[in-house]
Structure 1
Amino acid sequence: MTKKPNASTPPHTAAPASPWAPASAREQQREAKRNAVLQTAAQMFNERGFHATSLDDVAARLNVSKPTLYYYVKNKDEILFECVRAGLHMMQAGIEETRRNGGAAIEQLMACMRIYGRIVTMDFGMCLIRIGEDPLPPDSRRELRRLKSAIDLEFRRLITAGVAEGSLVPCDPKITAFAIAGALSWIGRWYQPDGEYSAEDIVDQIMNTLLGSIVKPDAPVTRIAPTRRTAGRAVAAKSASSRKTTSR
């Protein structure tokens, strides 16, 4: 005998879908928004300077209220610390990957130089060079300098290994590492994305200049090929010269 439903019992219905995203999705959204805060702040620090950029300025560019920013960061000092640390972590990650890939010391050194030079043309890397840790409190400065020191030591290690393998001329690893990092870092001071040279152009040319003074002439190292823009200018110049010769 089939039991009839009680008229007073409401029919079973599916539970309504929750309007809230799962915790994992909410965390991903928060992280994405926090990264947007840091990226925007880094761009503005690079454009205006740290002291001339307020949290109100950052909030306005992001189309949010200033109190909204405090959900993602504590204050402007924390923003700068995270921006500079992000640039250093990008460098460390690239250098560590180069080390894992192995190969001759000179090849690893060239790969690390390219990574370093390319990162200082990006928002966080440029912030690392243009603003740095000086405006921050002592504890933050110590942490960032510790990260910088690890990168410096890796360059020294590769230079020492390059001399030992015979691909680099005998040199002081400390001074040479300082010279390399100083020259590559300076790119972040004056590089403009809409300038005459692409980031790849600049890094290639500075690397060739630096390597020309430390690589042994007979070392089995391939010189960096010119980028497309550089090569295009060279071809154009050669073509113009050829036309002049022909017209005489």
Structure 2
Amino acid sequence: MATQLRRTPRPDAAAAADAAAPAVSPWSGAGERQRQREAKRNAVLSTAAQMFNERGFHATSLDDIAARLHVSKPTLYYYVKNKDEILLACVDKGLRMTLQGIEASRAAGGNAVDQLRACMQVYAGIVMQPFGMCLIRVGDEEVPEPARGELRRMKSEIDLAFRRLVAQGVEEGSLAPCDPKMTAFVIAGALSWIGRWYQPEGAHTPEEIAQQCIETLLGGVLARAPRTTRSTAKKRAASA
């Protein structure tokens, strides 16, 4: 007669725990999927900005961007519509970083020169980053309408921020009398140009470059006569 095998009943507590345990889904929740998609979209934009800076917008294709990311070209279309959208997003990021940094510098307080120096530091630092560099190296004419008008409006906000600080400094007496509009153009133009010649592998760090350029703009390039102290003046008078 065959021996029947009997299953040993599991303890009631263990069985109840198994029944109460939620099933583990292999799919991420909506929030996690959105975070992953945003992270991958940012990777596409960052890579594109670097390649636009290296090769130029027109010389960079979606195939080039996909190859550097080690994905297929169709994969890119899940995150962006076309190359124009990528360019617009890169330039927009550079502008918003700049405006937010300038606003934070002004909100920190201080006199006009302190705020101007802080804003210059922010601006110089951003134009040496991929999105800021893309903002400088890509011309407005390469951005399609109607976004071109919005980008020009945002750029004018940067210009107006510098103008206000220059005018405030002149009024306070901390800056020499000047035309705020012309001076703001000079400051922004000089700092913007860093984004064209800066090379990450160069001899100077971004901080050193920004500091040197700011000191040159604020202090000028002409040698200044050393200040004569009272003791020096007395010695000169005695020997005369």
**So what's the TM-score if we normalise by structure 2?**
0.82
Give the 3-state SS of the residue equivalent to 1:52 in structure 2.
Answer: coil
Mapped pair 1:120 → 2:132: no
CA distance in 2, matches of 1:126, 1:98: 20
Q: Residue in 2 aligned with 1:39? A: 46
Other-structure match for 2:197: 190
1:97 matches 2:78: no
Greater Rg over alpha carbons, structure: 2
Residue pair 1:84, 1:132 contacting (<8 A) in 2 also: no
TM-score, normalising length: structure 1: 0.80
Whether the 8 Å CA contact 1:40–1:62 is kept in 2: the answer is yes
Give the AA of the match of 1:91: T
Percent sequence identity over matched residues?
65
Letter in 2 for 1:39: S
Q: What is the CA distance between 1:119 and its match in structure 2?
A: 0.5
Supply the distance in 2 between the matched residues of 1:22 and 1:109 (Cα, whole angstroms). Answer: 46
Residue 156 (1) aligns with residue 163 (2): yes
Question: What amino acid does structure 1 have at the position aligned with 2:52?
Answer: F
Residue number in structure 1 paired with 2:61: 54
Q: How does 1:6-17 map to 2 (within 5 A)?
A: 13=19, 14-17=21-24
What value does the CA root-mean-square deviation take over the aligned residues? 1.7
- 1:239 corresponds in structure 2 to none
**Aligned 8 A contact 1:42 1:83 in 2:** yes
Misfit runs of 4+, over 4 Å: none
Q: Which runs of 5+ in 1 are unaligned?
A: 1-10, 218-248
- The number of residues matched between the two structures is 206
Q: Secondary structure at the match of 2:210?
A: helix
1:106 matches 2:113: yes
For residue 27 of structure 2, the aligned residue among 20, 29, 32 is 20
Q: State the 1:144 CA deviation.
A: 0.6
Letter in 2 for 1:112: C
User: 2:184: which partner in 1?
Assistant: 177
Unaligned runs of 5+ in 2: 1-15, 225-240
Partner in structure 1 of residue 12 of structure 2? none
Query: Which of residues 87, 95, 99 is equivalent to 2:94?
Result: 87
The one-letter code matched in structure 2 to 1:188 is G
- In 1, distance between residues paired with 2:63 and 2:103? 38
Q: Counterparts of 1:128 and 1:191 in 2: how far apart (Å)?
A: 14
Q: Which residue of 1 aligns with 2:154?
A: 147
Kindly indicate whether the alpha-carbon contact (under 8 Å) linking 2:53 and 2:137 is maintained by their aligned counterparts in 1. Answer: yes
Q: Check whether the contact 2:51–2:60 (CA below 8 A) recurs between aligned residues.
A: yes
Secondary structure of the residue aligned to 1:84 is helix
Secondary structure of 1:197's aligned partner? coil
Provide Cα deviations, 1:177-229, integer angstroms capped at 9, x if missing partner: 00000000000001001112211111111111110149xx9xxxxxxxxxxxx
Verify the 8 A CA contact 2:106 2:119 in the aligned structure 1: no
Q: Which residue of 2 aligns with 1:133?
A: 140
